[in-house]
Amino acid sequence: MKLLIDMNLSPRWVQIFQEQGWDAVHWTEVGDARATDATIMYWAREHGFIVFTHDLDFGIILALTRALGPSVIQVRTQDVMPSVLGERVIGILRKYKAKLEKGALLTVDERKARVRILPINA
C-alpha cells in the first residue's frame, strides 16, 4: 500500500505507516505546499498512491467527478496526531486494504469507519 499524507496532517504519519511496511510520503516531500486538492489527487492517481487527509474536499471531489481513483482516507476527528489515532488507523487500513487498493473513500472518526466504493454515485 502506498500512502500520500496531505498537508493538513503531520509528517509523523510517514513513520507510522512505514513501520507497517507500507510506502508513505508527505506531500511536502513531492509537491508544492500551495498545490490545489485537484493537483494532489492527480499526482496520487498517477503514482498509485492513496490520499490520507483531514480535508473533506477530497471526498467531495470524488463524489462530484465520479472518479475511480485515487482512493481517499479522510479522518474526521479533532485530534489527528499519530500518537492518538495511529493504532486505530492502522487497524482500519488493514481491514479495508483490498477495497482501498481497488478504489474507495474511507471515512474514519472516533467511533466508526465507513467505506464507499468508487465511483460514488449520488
Residue 36 maps to which CATH number?
3.40.50
The predicted-structure confidence for 55-68, as pLDDT tens digits, reads as follows 999 999 999 999 99
Query: Diameter of the chain by CA atoms?
Result: 37
Helix (H) or strand (E) run with residue 11 in it? none
What is the phi-psi region of residue 31: left when phi exceeds 0, alpha when psi lies from -120 to 50, beta otherwise? Answer: beta
Residue 122 within any structural domain of the chain: no
* Contact yes or no for 26/76 (Cβ under 8 A): no
Q: Which domain does 73 fall in, by range?
A: 2-117
Say what the pLDDT of residue 110 is. Answer: 84
Do you find a cis peptide bond into 82, omega within 30 degrees of 0? no
The predicted-structure confidence for 66-85, as pLDDT tens digits, reads as follows 999 999 999 999 999 999 99
Residue 23 within any structural domain of the chain: yes
Task: Give which of 23, 45, 28 is closest to 58, Cα–Cα.
Answer: 45
Read off the pTM.
0.95
Residue 119 three-state SS:
coil
- Cβ-based burial of 13 (10 A; exposed 0-12, middle 13-18, buried ≥19): buried
Question: What's the total number of domains in the chain?
Answer: 1
